[in-house]
Amino acid sequence: MYRPGRGKQVLFASIMNDKNRAAGRSGVGAVMGSKHLKAVVIKGKGRIPMADPDRFKQVNKQVLDTFREGVEKTPLGLTVNGTAGVVMATQNFGVLPTKNWQQGTFDGWEKIDGQELTRRYLKKNSACYGCPIGCGRLTRVTDAGFEGEGEGPEYETLYAMGSNCMIDNLGAITKANYICNEMGMDTITMGATIACAMELVDRGYLSEDRVGRSLQWGDAGALVELTRMTAAREGFGDELALGSFRLAEKYGHPELAPVSKKQEFPGYEPRGAQAMGLAYATSPIGGSHMRGDPAYFELFSVPQPMDPHIWEGKAKVTAAFQNLSAIIDAAGLCIFFAVRNLAAKDLGVAPTGILEYLNAATGSDYTLEELMQAGERIINAERIFLTHAGFSRKDDTLPDRLTKVPMPDGPAKGLVCHLEEMLDEYYEVRGWNRDGIPETKTLERLDLA
Amino acid sequence: MEIELRLYGGLNRYAPNGQTCSACLVAPSATISVAVTRLGIPGTVHITVLRNGRREDMSTRLEPGDILTLLPQIDGG
């Protein structure tokens, strides 16, 4: 669907769906905008045939019965406070990115947490088609200057526009989130870019004259105004529309951009959650938590907990989660439901539940090994694409801030992210050489040679 | 000895005084398990327990001034 941010080719424009849902990252909306593609409409009355509908219903009933049984014992955090509830976890683990990734805790966190969002602004939960979780938040803000109504914000927005900018004004964050949805922009990159600009100003690399207004840490008004200006590419918004890397590079300090492959990170600090750093660096689309999300085992104890401060042994589990995410994406499923309910309860996270659905729907007889290999094939196919585009180990990076500067505060104080050690282990697990290029024998095994 | 209890996400209903953050007296060298068990949280309720921000074995002995944090089931992001 067309949104103004895309028409202006903001480099982090999203493709919006169902009003408030987004293919949010990597600027896919800017690609649509550059081709003058306004919308894709799918219309039809036909039914999708199913090989064994009775078996499919049986599998579905079993999955939902188990899900509901679990929810009766422990209310699902996602239903109660949405993804916004994650602020509480990242703060207490000391991995809530704060002040453009200079700190891991934020004094104002309770003002931007999911409980506060629920208490102050929630109108009702919303759910995607057929979902029993309903993590979506339909909210309304009546705070003077930030009035509005819409969906969200999600956790990632609260980190990027909140703690990362030292802003504890939930009304302002929610308003900036509405603007991003209405204009079709990625909230992670928007918030992270404003935080980066705040640090450029703080360090004297960028003048407020150039910005056209004051831009200090914690300035809620600046967040909302600059978000609007970015969508319109008006004034300094035209520079923010480039994202943090190109902005910081323009002012001579690309090291201040919190990116991998020039894409901004989601809200988990790799110094205190080591595998997140590996996932960011090896994600084929740059900094992302949706191509394998180690927060599940490092913070949420799903399917089992692993110490977030330890880097040893993380490569194998991170690779397994990346393979699982590739299968979840290919199946058109949501990671929130699938990781907890459709995967094995060990750190191999074999997609056991997805296999049941797949065979019932298609009438095929896939084995678990074949399905797991399909996930591995997707990761390798993407890696081959990147290799042909010139990417290698030199691009699987994190900023020095995360790998060389010890965390100054909180439970992860004194730690750095051990990326290089994890990369050695990771490439070995993947069957890639030390430069991160897939070995011929790996591609032959996966029938990709 | 005195430790600090922090119970978030509705778990404060199990705190001795109903507060989210409070000082709490436990026996010298009490384990994490002892301190959590006395709160009376039903075993079916999923919780994450952190000692000074780190997930540790429940048999770990507490020290004066430790911060014991209990979080409800959380995921997403």
Inter-chain contacts counted by CB atoms under 8 A, chains A and B: 88
pLDDT tens, A8-65? 789 999 999 877 789 999 999 999 999 999 999 988 999 989 999 999 999 999 999 9
CA atoms of A142 and A160, how far apart (whole Å): 22
Tell me the C-alpha to C-alpha distance, in Å, between residue A443 and each of A283, A382, A393, A430, A435: 19, 12, 18, 11, 16
Instruction: Give the per-residue pLDDT at B44.
Output: 83
* Non-local CB neighbours of A53 within 8 Å, separated by 6+ positions: none
Q: Which of A447, A420, A415, A448 is nearest to A434 (CA)?
A: A420
The mean pLDDT value for A76-88 works out to 92
Instruction: Give the per-residue pLDDT at A351.
Output: 97
At residue A2, what is the residue type? Y
**Contact status of B53 with chain A (Cβ, < 8 Å):** yes
Residue A197 lies in a domain: yes
Same domain, A234 and A281: no
Place of tokens 């943090």: A244
* CATH code, domain carrying A415: 1.10.599.10
CA-nearest residue of chain A to B47? A74
Tell me the C-alpha to C-alpha distance, in Å, between residue A248 and each of A126, A159, A188, A259, A270: 37, 20, 16, 11, 21
The DSSP 8-state label assigned to residue A371 in this structure reads H
Instruction: Give the per-residue pLDDT at A170.
Output: 98
Residue B5 tokens, joined: 């209890």
Q: What is the pTM of this model?
A: 0.96
**Contact status of B46 with chain A (Cβ, < 8 Å):** yes
pLDDT mean across residues, chain A = 95
Q: Give me the interface pTM, i.e. the ipTM.
A: 0.94
Boundary (domain end) residue, out of A225, A257, A289: A257
Is the pLDDT score of A2 beyond 70?
no
Torsion angle (degrees, nearest 10) of CA A89, A289, A105, A299: 30
pLDDT tier, A5 (very low <50, low <70, confident <90, very high otherwise)? low
Interface test with B, best of A301, A306, A341 (most B CBs within 10 A): A301
Supply the range of the domain harboring residue A118: 78-257
Instruction: Give the per-residue pLDDT at B76.
Output: 80
Same domain, A155 and A249: yes
- Inter-chain contact A77–B54, Cβ cutoff 8 Å? no
Residue numbers of A between 195 and 254 with CB closer than 8 Å to B:
none
Instruction: Give the per-residue pLDDT at A7.
Output: 65
Residue A26 lies in a domain: no
Instruction: Give the per-residue pLDDT at A72.
Output: 83
Q: Is the peptide bond before B16 cis (omega within 30 degrees of 0)?
A: no
Fold (CATH) for B2-72: Ubiquitin-like (UB roll) (3.10.20)
Please compute Rg for chain B using Cα positions: 12
Same domain, A115 and A242: yes
- Inter-chain contact A89–B71, Cβ cutoff 8 Å? yes
Output A251 or A77, whichever has higher pLDDT.
A251
Same domain, A284 and A375: yes
Residue A148 lies in a domain: yes
Boundary (domain end) residue, out of A257, A288, A314: A257
Residue A22 lies in a domain: no
The mean pLDDT value for A177-196 works out to 97
User: Which residue among B44, B52, B53 places its CB closest to the CB of A74?
Assistant: B44
Place of tokens 């000895």: B1
Residue B22: strand pairing partners:
B5
In chain A, which residues have their Cβ closer than 8 Å to the Cβ of B68?
Answer: none
Residue A60 lies in a domain: no
Tell me the C-alpha to C-alpha distance, in Å, between residue A369 and each of A81, A350, A356, A374, A446: 36, 9, 13, 9, 12
* CATH code, domain carrying A228: 1.10.569.10
Same domain, A202 and A299: no
Same domain, A350 and A424: yes
Same domain, A233 and A366: no
Residue A321 lies in a domain: yes
User: Which residue among B45, B46, B71 places its CB closest to the CB of A88?
Assistant: B71
pLDDT tens, A372-396? 999 999 999 999 999 999 999 999 9
Residue A16 lies in a domain: no
Is the pLDDT score of A217 beyond 60?
yes
Residue A39 lies in a domain: no
CA atoms of A193 and B1, how far apart (whole Å): 47
In chain B, which residues have their Cβ closer than 8 Å to the Cβ of A305?
Answer: 48, 55
**Backbone phi and psi for residue B68, each to the nearest 5 degrees, phi listed first:** -105, 115
Total domain count for chain A?
Answer: 2
CA atoms of A311 and A244, how far apart (whole Å): 28
**Contact status of B74 with chain A (Cβ, < 8 Å):** yes
- Inter-chain contact A411–B50, Cβ cutoff 8 Å? yes
Q: Which of A283, A318, A316, A319 is nearest to A298 (CA)?
A: A318
CA-nearest residue of chain A to B43? A73
Place of tokens 């079709």: A184
Q: Please return the burial class of A204, using the count of CB atoms within 10 Å of its CB with bins 0-12, 13-18 and 19+.
A: exposed
CA atoms of A254 and A100, how far apart (whole Å): 13
Is the pLDDT score of A298 beyond 90?
yes
Boundary (domain end) residue, out of A193, A223, A257: A257
Interface test with A, best of B51, B60, B73 (most A CBs within 10 A): B73
